Amino acid sequence: MSLAAIDRVLSSRRARWAIGVALGVAALGHATAAHAQAPLTTDVPVERMHWTTDADGVLDVPWGTILPSLSLAAGLGMSYANDPLTIYRDEGDSRVRVASPVSGRAGAELTAALGVADLLEFSLAMPLVLQQSSSAGSLMLPTTSSAGFGDLRLGAKLGLLRQKSFGVDGAATVVVGFPSAKDASYIGEAGPVAEPGVVVSRRFTEAWRATATLGYRVRERTASLALVVDDELVAQLGVGFKLAALSGPAVELDASLSVATAAGDALGSFDRNYAELKLGGGFSPMPSIAVILGGGVGMSEGFGTPDWRAFAGARFRFSVSDALSGGGGGDEVDVPKLDIKEAGTISRDGVAPPKPTDDDGDGFMSDVDACPSQAETVNGYLDDDGCPDTLPDRDQDGRLDDADQCPDVPEDLDGNADEDGCPDPDDDADGVADREDKCPRVPGVVETGGCPDPDRDGDTVVDRLDNCPDEPGTPANAGCKAKQLVRLTGDKIEILDAVYFRTDKADIRSKSFKLLDNIAKVLATHPAINVRVEGHTDTDGDDAHNLDLSQRRAESVVAYLTKKGIDRARLTAQGFGETQPIADNASKKGKAANRRVVFAITSGNDGTVVEPTAPAAQP
């Protein structure tokens, strides 16, 4: 599509247009006028995802180790990107997508890498476009080819750091791209591209690992309408988690984030900022092969950012030296012909031993590596044998067996003495098990559910049994200075005298006022206590009458205490009649004992609730 044609399109709509070259959501920029824009060109690179040649890479992010000498890694990756080339119309503060010169692209990439020394490897990658389509909308756009080869990339990586010595694996990299695409069609660059960078990686545990890259992409400046494609700052971050570390399948869950921005306008024009998040998984049917599957979403609107992406691929690695030597990993040896008439053994004097290699890339050469094809897991346990291992923890409480005082019983991890690996059923050692202890970190007593038994006035009578908790007294006077007619127990207010009523009536006799006043004072100083006032009678008279009389007498006591300022909601009246005798009704003394009022504490003194016993059914 010529610039003049674009000018006609823009003029017919009386709007300003910007063209975005994006693998997903992108725009080429804001155009102030059609004549101020550069000519439209298809030399804009759309593909941002490049498969790494590293067998240990996380999705598309390289790893910081080097292939062993004469080891080969190869791979094939395929992906589909939605709307990698889009055109937007500016509408005030927003942008509206109106066309997709390339609405979908299916691509592939062949990769290979060869370790030529223990600290150096070379790589190459050839991308291909298998199919791409367009959606021009109402615009006249250039025709794009449906398939073609991309730009060949050659790379080198120099190992600098090893995790065993420095805590991380690190390498310096350089990748050079050559404009080998025969048909531009948004497949390749306008000129050569060079990208120096660094890679830093670390295996944190047997399960977790991470890698990151930082680079600078040098390219020939290209302009297409309002978009300027120039040098870029690029970075990647990859994180992997191996399910096999949790006794799961041989699958690794991976995530990667790739970003790029214009070197001369960092985080400036929206159309030159690229960000893409990818999630996927890798399955390893054997240590030398990995199969990868995943997808990605665009996180910005810069060119090369897809709306969404799906990808799949495979990587494998093998030792060239092993293949050339028939799998032995050493030099071929001429075996002398054995004379059966001679006794003895074949001599290998003068034959050089094979050169040690590090095929699994764990820093241990094959002559000292107990597992030369499986990488060591650096986790602080048997890290010097070159083999993967799992920390011994039989009870799975996170405390290694050699430091676990109870290796077969898991620690309860309650924040108390968790370092010994043993459960602690009573953390505060107060005789109340933690599952029943209301104060599991503070020693207490059984009567208070494991909480402390305070004594506010310091008179040696604890508050729950102290009639006067804020007045120092004596134990003989229930914690008061004056003599008391009642005492607090765990489940009742025990009266030291009787409550007297007029015969066969509910009227309280004045001789009991002092006793009831003492009860009211105790209730006032213990506002949390709730009481059930129980009325009881002897067996004289009709059963139903006695039940009614006991109820009315209990209600009379409640009414008296209420008049003394006690909240009625804290008091319950219940008559039991003659159903709960405490003495023999055959004697006058026994009947006198059965005619009584009981002040049962239902809650508030020890945290428990005492349920009443229902009166027996009357005949």
What's the 3-state SS for 470-506? Answer: CCCCEHHHCCECCCCCEEECCCEEEECCCCCECCCCC
Is pLDDT of 110 > 80? Answer: yes
| Domain-wise residue ranges, the chain | 3-324, 485-603
For residue 133, the one-letter residue type is S
For residues 88 and 371, the model is more confident at 371
Q: How far, in Å, CA of 89 to CA of 502, rounded?
A: 100
Measured at the alpha carbon of residue 217, what is the angle toward residues 216 and 221, in degrees to the nearest 5? 135
Summarised one tens digit per residue, pLDDT across range 443-466 is 877 767 778 878 888 888 988 898
Whole-number Cα distances in Å, 52 to 2, 30, 262: 37, 34, 23
* pLDDT attached to residue 96: 80
Query: Which range is least confidently modeled, 51-60, 107-116, 204-213?
Result: 51-60
* pLDDT attached to residue 379: 67
- The predicted model gives 73-85 an average pLDDT of 89
Q: Is 241 left (phi over 0), alpha (psi -120 to 50) or beta?
A: beta
Q: How far, in Å, CA of 157 to CA of 122, rounded?
A: 6
Q: How far, in Å, CA of 469 to CA of 461, rounded?
A: 8
Is pLDDT of 369 > 90? Answer: no
Is pLDDT of 250 > 60? Answer: yes
Is pLDDT of 399 > 90? Answer: no
Is pLDDT of 8 > 80? Answer: no
List beta partners, residue 239: 210, 255
Query: Which range is least confidently modeled, 182-196, 315-329, 397-411, 425-439?
Result: 315-329
Is pLDDT of 619 > 50? Answer: no
Q: How far, in Å, CA of 498 to CA of 486, rounded?
A: 11
Q: Which CATH number fits domain 485-603: 3.40.225.10, 3.30.1330.60, 1.10.10.10, 3.40.50.720?
A: 3.30.1330.60
Query: Which range is least confidently modeled, 131-135, 309-313, 515-519, 573-577?
Result: 131-135
Strands 222-224 and 227-229: antiparallel
Q: How far, in Å, CA of 29 to CA of 21, rounded?
A: 10
Task: Return the biggest CA–CA distance within the chain.
Answer: 135
Q: What is the pTM of this model?
A: 0.50
For the chain, give the mean pLDDT. 81
Q: How far, in Å, CA of 18 to CA of 95, rounded?
A: 9
Is pLDDT of 402 > 90? Answer: no
- The predicted model gives 345-365 an average pLDDT of 73
Of all residues in the chain, what percent carry a pLDDT higher than 70?
80
Is pLDDT of 175 > 60? Answer: yes
Q: How far, in Å, CA of 127 to CA of 189, rounded?
A: 12
* pLDDT attached to residue 40: 64
Q: How far, in Å, CA of 161 to CA of 48, rounded?
A: 28
Q: How far, in Å, CA of 594 to CA of 582, rounded?
A: 6
Q: For residue 508, give the DSSP letter.
A: B
- Name the token pair of 25: 């959501």
Confidence of residue 77 (pLDDT cuts 50, 70, 90): very high
For residues 16 and 547, the model is more confident at 547
Confidence of residue 391 (pLDDT cuts 50, 70, 90): low
Confidence of residue 591 (pLDDT cuts 50, 70, 90): very high
Query: Taking a C-beta distance cutoff of 8 angstroms, is the pair 449, 427 a contact?
Result: no
Strands (E), 266-307: 273-286, 289-298
Length of the chain: 619
Q: What is the torsion angle, in degrees rounded to the nearest 10, for the CA atoms of residue 560, residue 563, residue 569 and residue 574?
A: 10
- The predicted model gives 580-604 an average pLDDT of 93
Q: How far, in Å, CA of 257 to CA of 298, rounded?
A: 10
For the chain, helix (H) and strand (E) counts, in that order, are: 6, 21
Comparing C-alpha atoms, which of 106, 62, 351 is closest to residue 200?
A: 62
524-527, long-range: CB < 8 A, 24+ apart: 524/565, 524/566, 525/467, 525/468, 525/469, 525/470, 526/464, 526/469, 526/488, 526/604, 526/605
- The predicted model gives 69-75 an average pLDDT of 88
* pLDDT attached to residue 62: 94
Of all residues in the chain, what percent carry a pLDDT higher than 90?
42
Q: Which CATH number fits domain 3-324: 3.40.50.720, 2.40.160.40, 1.10.260.40, 1.10.3720.10?
A: 2.40.160.40
Q: How far, in Å, CA of 376 to CA of 172, rounded?
A: 23
Comparing C-alpha atoms, which of 154, 151, 112 is closest to residue 129?
A: 151
